[in-house]
Amino acid sequence: MDDILQQLEERRAEARLGGGKQRIAAQHKRGKLTARERIDLLLDEGSFEEFDMFVEHRCSDFGMEKAKIPGDGVVTGWGTINGRVVYLFAKDFTVFGGSLSETHAAKITKVQDMALRNRAPIIGLFDAGGARIQEGVAALGGYGEVFLRNVLASGVVPQISVIMGPCAGGDVYSPAMTDFIFMVKDRSYMFVTGPDVVKTVTNETVTAEQLGGASVHTTKSSIADRAYENDVEALLQMRRLIDFLPSSNTDEAPELPSFDSPDRVEPSLDTLIPANPNQPYDIKELIHKVADEGDFFEIQESFARNIVVGFGRIEGRTIGFIANQPMVLAGVLDSDASRKAARFVRFCDCFDIPLVTFVDVPGFLPGTDQEYGGLIKHGAKLLFAYAEATVPKVTVITRKAYGGAYDVMSSKHIRGDVNYAWPSAEIAVMGPKGAAEILYRSDLGDKEKIAGHIREYEDRFANPFIAAERGYIDEVILPRNTRWRIGRALNMLKKKTQSNPWKKHDNIPL
Ligand code: HXC
């Protein structure tokens, strides 16, 4: 018996070495941790249970029958994060460059199936060279199986991808169908085809970083939701994110004890809005002052910065915050901002996370650039997402709510549950200047007359009361009371039930 136990330990030790000491050293030299080191950091200490450690590939082409490494380039299993179950797979770059074979794919689909069946989040750590070239179509089939499960799990359990090294070819589409993608700066890149193929096909010369590094995907393409300095920071932030999320669409997000009083009054918010309506202010100050302990996990902070989205808590419960940011492009809604916020709203609605929306929006961004880029359909995505959402929706208009953007930003008309306005709110079809110039076109040559018309429009419409008179605004509140007013509203809405007409699925303007 001792012999058998020893054999088991030896086989385990061999599997844990992956591609061997030399390749592990090379991985470290590049500033990357190994798959198992990453898992140890991500999960609660000692909670990891590995599956399929002895799985090997079955390929016999290109001499592969002589090159077998237990585990076959991916470490899979489950463990806990702050006591809650998560499933995971981590590509092992030291084994065939983490490339995906038929058996490697089967290991991943096994944990995907378990996550879906047992209703827990699944996290993928990527560091790999795509399809196992020696396996050909068997690898392609494997990818297809993984992709299918990504789609079936979408909206049922949270799916998170962390890109920690190369992620190319077939490897990119699984992350693309998960809820969030995070990257590690300077060490990770994602693209469908690499710099060599790009050079051959388009004669363009680019580096991997220029083509698909974290800087590109967090600022230009919006493929990635955030980037971190190194593996350690990325993994610790994933632990923080998981704490905000429910395990599935039938579970509630964990309620964390908060030492922040629900009644906290913030007198400084009374002076957040500058006297000059064209002067910006930082909407994140409002989010930080409303959220428990100022804790805010921002999503896509470097992309479409004219809108801010992310998770916080009020009275210990997870909230999705969406806020126009007057500091960037005056908080205007453009295609990028609309897409970014729409995706976030839909995530929250899938997982029953209430929405709190802060509105200060001068309208949609005019211009050929936006119109040619499909602003109508992109803007409609946000409108659609808010309108179909059945989670509790609390809206606070802090300043401008002009035009179509007023309707879009969780207004009463698209089933906002509780709609507040600060006394500084201006709810109108458009800004006073634009309105006066259209209404009194014949006076355009006379600056004084136009100034008079602008003042007249401001006096009549630049306030929350006309909307409040119609019941579009439930109450005009003092800025200092925003936190406890929202908290009360969310408590009142705790048992909200609302459903949409039966349908196979909707047809959001993609
Ligand atoms: C088999 C692979 C591999 C692959 C890397 N390796 N990629 N083995 N299949 N796809 C192996 C290498 O042979 C090497 O083995 C080890 O992994 C490390 O690779 P290096 O090239 O030495 O590392 P590095 O210089 O860091 O370059 C990493 C890399 C590069 C950029 C990922 O390896 C690369 O370009 N790989 C090929 C990428 C690719 O074209 N994949 C196929 C995409 S097509 P040894 O034994 O020397 O350590 C695809 C289609 C699927 O995915 C579509 C489905 C929809």
Q: How confident is the model at residue 323 (pLDDT cuts 50, 70, 90)?
A: very high
88 forms bridges with which residues in the sheet? 77, 123
Domain shared by 100 and 221, yes or no = yes
What pLDDT is recorded for position 503? 96
In order of 191, 226, 334, 376, the CA distances from 367 in angstroms are 31, 29, 10, 12
Question: Is residue 503 assigned to a domain?
Answer: no
Ligand 1 pocket: which of 108, 133, 190 to mutate (most atoms <8 Å of CB)? Answer: 133
Nearest protein CA to atom 15 of ligand 1, as residue: 96
Nearest in space to 431 (alpha carbons), one of 332, 323, 338, 358: 332
Select from 92, 96, 146 the residue to mutate for testing ligand 1; criterion: most ligand atoms less than 8 Å from CB.
96
Indicate if the pLDDT at residue 115 is higher than 80.
yes
CATH number at residue 285: 3.90.226.10
pLDDT above 90: residue 190:
yes
Three-state DSSP class for residue 140: helix
Does the pLDDT value for residue 347 go beyond 80? yes
In a domain, 376, yes or no: yes
Find the mean pLDDT for residues 276-286: 94
Q: Do both 274 and 208 map to the same domain?
A: no
235 near 162, Cβ under 8 Å? yes
3-state secondary structure 185-230: CCCCEEECCCHHHHHHHHCCCCCHHHHHEHHHHHHCCCCCCEEECC
Same domain, 275 and 395: yes
Q: Does the residue 497 lie in any domain? A: no
Q: What backbone torsions phi and psi does residue 444 show, to the nearest 5 degrees?
A: -55, -30
Q: For Cα atoms 499, 503, 507, give the angle at the middle one, nearest 5 degrees.
A: 105
Contacts of 455 (CB under 8 A, 6+ apart): 432
Cα 180 to middle of ligand 1, angstroms: 25
Q: What band does 434 get if pLDDT is binned at 50, 70 and 90?
A: confident
Among 99, 127, 143, 148, say which to mutate for ligand 1: greatest number of ligand atoms within 8 Å of CB. 99
Task: Return the percentage of the chain with pLDDT > 90, whole number.
Answer: 86
* 226-to-31, 173, 249, 252, 501 alpha-carbon distances in Å: 19, 18, 24, 25, 36
Residue 256 is assigned to a structural domain of this protein: no
Which pLDDT tens digit goes with each residue over 161-185?
999 999 998 899 999 999 999 999 9
What pLDDT score was predicted for residue 475? 97
Do 457 and 467 belong to one domain?
no
| Domain shared by 232 and 272, yes or no | no
Closest atom of ligand 1 to CA, residue 67? 46
- The separation between the first and the last C-alpha atoms of the chain, rounded to the nearest angstrom, is 61
Residues 191 and 280 placed together within one structural domain of the fold: no
**Average predicted confidence (pLDDT) for the chain:** 95
pLDDT of residue 351: 98
498 located within any domain: no
pLDDT of residue 169: 87
How many domains does one find in the chain?
A: 3
Which token pair is 406? Answer: 């007023």
Residue 440: is its pLDDT beyond 90?
Answer: no
Closest residue (by CA) to atom 16 of ligand 1? 97
Q: Which of 57-61, 206-210, 264-268 has the lowest mean pLDDT?
A: 57-61
148/41 same-domain check: yes
pLDDT at 429 over 90: no
Of all protein residues, whose CA lies closest to atom 18 belonging to ligand 1?
Answer: 97
Would residue 90 count as lying in a domain? yes
Q: Which amino acids are annotated catalytic? A: 169-170, 404-405
Structural element, H or E, at residue 343: helix 335-350
Number of H helices, E strands in the chain: 19, 16
| Structural domain containing residue 364 | 267-425+463-492
Q: Over 90: is that where the pLDDT of 78 sits?
A: yes
Per-residue pLDDT averaged across 484-495, rounded? 97
Contact 393, 386 (CB under 8 A): yes
Round to whole Å and give the CA distance between 174 and 150: 7
- Does the pLDDT value for residue 430 go beyond 90? no
My answer on whether 69 and 207 are in the same domain is: yes
Around ligand 1, the residues with Cβ closer than 6 Å are: 23, 96-97, 99, 129-133, 140, 143, 166, 168-170, 173, 194
pLDDT interval class at 232 (50, 70, 90): very high
Query: Which residue carries 């994110």 as its tokens?
Result: 241
C-alpha 64 to ligand 1 mean position (Å): 15
Say if residue 436 is in the same domain as residue 378. no
As given in the structure block, the two tokens for residue 329 are 């492009």
pLDDT score for 2: 81
Q: Tell me, in angstroms, the distance from the centre of ligand 1 to residue 133's CA.
A: 8
Give the separation between CA 463 and CA 474, rounded to whole angstroms.
14
Could you tell me which of 470, 459, 456, 455 has the C-alpha nearest to residue 419?
A: 470
Query: Per residue in 208-222, is it b (16+ CB within 10 Å) or e — as a string?
Result: bbebbbbbbbbeeeb
> How far is it, in rounded angstroms, from Cα 486 to Cα 356?
8
Tell whether 456 and 487 lie within a shared domain.
Answer: no
Q: Is the pLDDT of residue 109 over 80?
A: yes
**Confidence check: pLDDT of 131 > 90:** yes
Q: Are strands 355-361 and 317-324 parallel, antiparallel or unpaired?
A: parallel
Mean pLDDT of 236-260: 96
Q: What is the pLDDT of residue 449?
A: 87
Closest C-alpha to 385, from 427, 333, 431, 456: 333
Residues 401 and 454 in one domain: no
Residues 147 and 287 in one domain: no
- In angstroms, what is the C-alpha Rg of the chain? 26
pLDDT, tens only, 21-71: 999 999 999 999 999 999 999 999 999 999 999 999 887 888 888 888 889
Over residues 380-400, the pLDDT tens digits come to 999 999 999 999 999 999 999
Residue 358 lies in a domain: yes
DSSP string covering 86-135, please?
EEEEEE-TTTGGG-B-HHHHHHHHHHHHHHHHHT--EEEEEEE-SB-GGG
Sign of CA dihedral 220, 221, 226, 228: negative
Residue 499 lies in a domain: no
Task: Give pLDDT, residue 63.
Answer: 82
